Amino acid sequence: MQMQLLKERIQKDGLVEDGDILKVDSFLNHQIDISLLEEIGKEFNRQFEGKEVTKILTIEASGIAIACITARYFKVPVVFAKKTKTLNIAGEVYKASVESFTHKNTNTIIVSKKFLKPEDKVLIIDDFLANGKAIIGLSKLVEEAGATLVGAGVVIEKGFQPGGTRIREMGIDLHSLAIVESMDPANGVRFRED
């Protein structure tokens, strides 16, 4: 079920640019409306109610704030996959390659093995779903850890791109809070009907 409050905010403040880019940086992924994020976290908690979640996994950077607010409602830690190995990650790591639709590049994402264990039940949270590469990469980290993937929550899915179909065909329990059916700079955003 899609989230009406979010759809209204996208209509009001989202900007559609050429190249299938939807800018929501004034409220979601650059400047952040915490009140809206609270509602997003509550909605993900409602949609995945009954799932035994022990960790929330996201990818840096835009997914972190959303994952953190969502984690408050599940009362579990957030683990975020880093796009570059830094000196403060010591020891063994899980790795996966992820192609970014927005940035048009490929990153190797990593998570320290000490933060993902076989006993974990993982919920993936991210801001956008276009081609599905981020969720696929994160799910590979979960699989590599021997953990259980309980589902994936996405704030905005571009329903006209193949990611949502690809993720659902993989058998991942995917919940998107707003599914964009089509968009263009002249006409704005049109949402898929529930």
Q: For the segment 19-74, what is each residue's pLDDT rounded down to a tens digit?
A: 889 999 999 988 999 999 999 999 999 999 999 999 999 998 889 999 999 999 99
Tokens describing residue 74: 């599940």
- Give the residue-averaged pLDDT of 124-130: 96
Q: Where are the domains of the chain?
A: 4-86+93-187
Do the Cβ atoms of 161 and 20 come closer than 8 Å?
A: yes
Fold for domain 4-86+93-187? Rossmann fold (3.40.50)
Tokens describing residue 115: 């933060």
CA gap 189, 194 in Å, rounded: 15
Which value, to the nearest 10 degrees, does the dihedral of the CA atoms of residues 139, 171, 173, 138 take? 10
- Name the more confident of 86 and 107: 107
Length of the chain counted residue by residue = 194
CA gap 131, 102 in Å, rounded: 10
With cut-offs at 50, 70 and 90, classify the pLDDT of residue 86: low
Q: What is the DSSP pairing of strand 121-129 with strand 55-59? A: parallel
Among 164, 5, 182, smallest CA distance to 190 is for 182
* Beta-sheet strand order (sheet of 121-129): 78-81, 55-59, 121-129, 148-158, 174-184, 188-191
